[in-house]
A and B are shown apart, each in its own frame.
Chain A
Amino acid sequence: MTFLAPVGNDAGAGGGGESDRFLPSEIPMALLDPAGRVLPSSELAMPPADVLLELYRQMVLGRRFDSQATALTKQGRLAVYPSARGQEACEIGAVLALRPQDWLFPTYRDSMAIVARGVDPVEALTLLRGDWHCGYDPYVHNVAPQCTPLATNTVHAVGLAHAARIKGEDTVALVMLGDGGTSEGDTHEALNFAAVWKAPVVFLIQNNGYAISVPLSKQTAAPSLAHKGIGYGVRSVKIDGNDPAAVYATVDAAIRSAAAGDGPVLIEAITYRIEAHTNADDASRYRDPAEVQAWLARDPVSRLRAHLTERGLLDDDAVAAIESAAEDRAGELRRRMNVDSELDPADLFRYVYAAQTPALARQARELAEEIDRAEEQR
C-alpha cells in the first residue's frame, strides 16, 4: 500500500490540491466488513491464511486473558485492570506485524499486546498486581515498560528508533496511544521529531471513542486524529480498528516503509472499549448502553471467525480447540496469581541508583530494623 494516495471515495473533499494527497480517507480503510465479508480494497493487501488464523487464535487467547484479569480484580488479586475488550484487533494485529527486532511501547491499556508479544502474563501483570512498577525485562522481548503518563512514551519510541538508525540497526518502534493521548503535548513533539529525523516509528492510535469519560468530540475539533500527523509531515491513515486483517496489513506495511527509511507513519484505528475504563470506573455515567450494543455487532473476534469459517479455514473443532487452550491458560494464570507473591522491602532501596548510596543503605537498614521489631512484638 502507499500512504500518500487518497483512499476511500471522497478523500480530499476540500478541493483536490497537491496537499490533499496527504489527507487520510474519510471512510476508515478495511478489508473485512463486520460480518467478515471481504471488502474490495485497492490499498490494503489481505494477509495470508496462516496469519489470519494466528490473528484469530491470539485474539481468542487475548480476550480470555483480559476477562481473567478483570475477574482477578474482583478477587482482590489485581489492584486495578484497564480492559482492552473490543480492541483485540489492534492489540493483536499490531503485535503480530512486528518483527523480532522491533520494539513495542505500550500503555496501561495494552497488557494483551504485551502478552501476545511473548511476555509472561504474570510478569505483564506485576504492575497492576501492585508488586512492582514493571515485572518484565524490556530487553527480552523488546517491550518497553507500560506507560501510564499519557503519551510520554511517544518520545521514547522516537529516541529508540532514531538511535537504531544512528547505529545502523534495522529496528522499528511501534508506540501505542489512545485518542485522549493525542491531545498531550508529547504526542505532537514526538510526531514532529520523528518526521524531522525520519525516524522509523509507527504511531498506533487506538481511537476507542473515550478518554475515561470524555468523548472524542470534547477532545478535538480535528476532522480525524489521522489529520494530526499531516501537519507534521507524517504519513497518516485511518483504518477500521475492529478489522484484524486491516490492522495487521496496515501495521505490516507501515513497518516495512519505516524500516526502508521512508520515515514515520501514524495509524488511527477506530475501535471501541467495551468495558469501563477500568474495573473501578462506572461507564453508565457517561455513555448509553445502546452504543455498546451497536459496537458489539462490530466485534473483531467474531468478525474474523465468520470470515475464516466462510473460507473453510476454521471449523467447530478448531474453534473449540483454541477456546480450550485459552481456558487452560486462564486457569494457569488464575493459579499463579492466587499464590501470594513474596516481596522484599529492601528492593525499594536497591534500584534507585546504579549503586546504592550511603543514605539509601541507611534507610534500608532502618526499615529492616523496624520490620524486625514489629515481628518480634507479634
Chain B
Amino acid sequence: MTMTAERDAVAAAKPTSITMAAALNRALADALSQDETVLVFGEDVGTLGGVFRVTDGLAATFGQSRVFDTPLAESAIVGTAIGMAMNGLRPAVEMQFDAFAYPAFEQITSHLAKLHNRTRGRVSLPIVIRIPYGGGIGGVEHHCDSSEAYYTHTPGLRVVTPGTPSDAYALLRQAIECPDPVIFLEPKRRYWSKETAVLDHRSSTVDRAVVRRSGTDVTLIAYGGTVATAMEAAEAARQDGRSVEVIDLRSLSPFDDETVVASLRRTGRAVVVHEASQFGGYGAEVAARLSEQCFHYLEAPILRVAGFDIPYPPPKLEQHHLPSVDRILDAFDRLQWEDTSTLERRST
C-alpha cells in the first residue's frame, strides 16, 4: 500500500453520511488525484459539474486539461476516449442520459468491447462510461431508459451498477482501475439516497454480487435502482412471515454465478426484479442460467418482476410501469408454496 493510499484509507475509515451522487463525485476526485492518467470528460461535466452534479468541482480542482466539456457528439466522446486509452490514458467519460448514449453504440460495441480481443490483448482500453439510467424521477421521454441488456449482451464489456452510495464509491473506483472497459450504470433515482458508510474501495470486488439481507425462503435478485425496492419488499414480506434473501448483483456482466447459485440452492425459490422491459431482458438471462444450475433445488419457476414491454411511459404514468413492492410481494405469492400438483402428477 502506498503512502497516499494508506492516508486515504485512514481518512475514509470514518463513517460519513453521503448521497450516491456525492459518493460518485468523491470516487472521481480520488481517482483523479491518485492517478494522473485519469481524465473526466463529456457534455457539461466541466464548468457545470454535470446535469446531476456528479462531476461538481472537479474541473476547478483538477484543471481543464483533465476535466473538460466536449462538443455534443456521443460517438466522438467514446471514440476519442478509445484513442486516448490507446495512448496510455484512463478516460472516465459521462453520457448525459441513458438514451443519449445510443449515438455511441457503434463505438461501444464495435470497438470498445472488441479492441482487446482484436489485438490479442495488445491494446487495453481501461475506459469507464458512466451512464445515468432508469426511471423514477419524472423524466420525459429519452431520459428514463434501462439500457443494461444492450451492453450485457456485448462480450468484452463489463457492466456494473451500484445500489448504494458506498457501493457507488467502491465500484466506480474499481471500474476506473479495471483494465477492461466498464459500462457504469448509475441508477439516477437513487442519486440522492443517503447512507452512513465508510468509503473504501478495497473491501469488495467489482465482479461479485453481495447478499444485502439474509433469508431462508426466497432469493430476491435486484440491481441498481431496484435494490432499495427489493429491501423494502423483503421487510414487508417478513410481516407476512416470509424470510427473503436479497441479492444485489452489482456486476451484471460478468455474472456472479457462485453467490447467486449458493443462495438459490438454499432457498429453492427466486424472483428477479428490474425496471427494464421483461421481453429479452436481463432477468431472462438470470432466470435461464439459474434454472440450468439449480433445477433440482427449485420449488417453483423463477419469476420476473419487470417493466411492461412498452416504451418507457410519460412521467404521469411511470408509477404503473416501475416494479413496486406490491408487485414483488405478489410474485412471492405465486411461488407455489402449497402446490402439490407437480408431485401428484408425477405419482400417477
Contact = CB atoms under 8 A, between A and B. Distances in A.
A149 interface: yes
A347 B121 CA distance: 11
A171 B118 CA distance: 24
A374 interface: no
Contacts of B87: 159-160, 163-164, 167, 171
Nearest to B113: A352
A196 B70 CA distance: 9
A189 B156 contact: no
B115 A353 contact: no
A156 B158 contact: no
Contacts of A278: none
Contact of A185 (B75, B179, B257): B75
Contact of A357 (B75, B115, B122, B254): B254
B71 interface: yes
Interface in A321-378: 347, 350-354, 357-359
Interface string B99-134: 000010011001100111111111110000000000
B76 A351 contact: no
B118 A352 contact: no
Interface stretch (A40-48, A138-146, A214-222, A287-295): A138-146
A353 B158 contact: yes
Contacts, number: 139
Nearest to A171: B87
A166 interface: yes
Could you say which of A133, A163, A171, A354 has the most chain B C-beta atoms within 10 Å of its C-beta? A163
A161 B122 CA distance: 19
A152 interface: yes
Interface string B172-193: 0000001110000000000000
A358 B79 CA distance: 30
B111 A138 contact: no
Nearest to B118: A133
Given A155-B75, A166-B89, A173 B83 contact: yes
B237 interface: no
A158 B86 contact: no
B111 A156 contact: yes
A193 B73 CA distance: 9
Given A351-B120, A352-B155, A354-B121, A155 B79 contact: yes
B88 interface: yes
A137 B82 contact: no
B65 A152 contact: no
Contacts of A189: 71, 73, 75-76, 79
B81 interface: yes
Interface string A145-189: 100010010111111111110110001010000000000011001
Contacts of A156: 79-80, 82-83, 86, 111
A142 to B, nearest CB: 10
B149 interface: no
Given A155-B75, A353-B180, A359-B255, A138 B122 contact: yes
B119 A159 contact: no
Nearest to A105: B83
A134 interface: yes
A116 interface: no
Given A137-B119, A144-B86, A159 B180 contact: no
B331 interface: no
B84 interface: yes
Interface string A106-136: 0000000000000000000000000011100
B128 to A, nearest CB: 14
Contacts of B80: 155-156, 158-159, 162, 193
A348 to B, nearest CB: 9
Given A193-B70, A193-B73, A145 B83 contact: no
A357 B254 CA distance: 7
Nearest to B255: A359
A193 B123 CA distance: 23
A186 B75 contact: yes
A97 interface: no
B96 to A, nearest CB: 16
A190 interface: yes
Given A164-B87, A352-B116, A155 B82 contact: yes
Contacts of B79: 152, 154-156, 158-159, 186, 189-190
A242 interface: no
A58 interface: no
Output the residue of A137, A160, A359 with the most chain B CB within 10 A.
Answer: A160
A167 B87 CA distance: 9
Interface in A192-218: 192-193, 196
A167 B84 CA distance: 10
Contacts of B76: 155, 158, 186, 189-190, 192-193
Contacts of A164: 87
B122 A159 contact: no
Nearest to B124: A354
Contacts of A134: 118-120
| Residue of A156, A160, A352 most packed against chain B (CB within 10 A) | A156
Interface pairs A-B: 4 shortest CB-CB: A159-B83, A155-B79, A159-B80, A189-B76
Given A149-B110, A354-B179, 9 more contacts: A149-B106, A152-B79, A152-B107, A156-B82, A159-B86, A160-B87, A161-B83, A353-B156, A354-B178
11 contacts: A133-B117, A134-B119, A139-B123, A145-B119, A152-B111, A155-B75, A158-B79, A167-B89, A189-B79, A353-B156, A353-B158
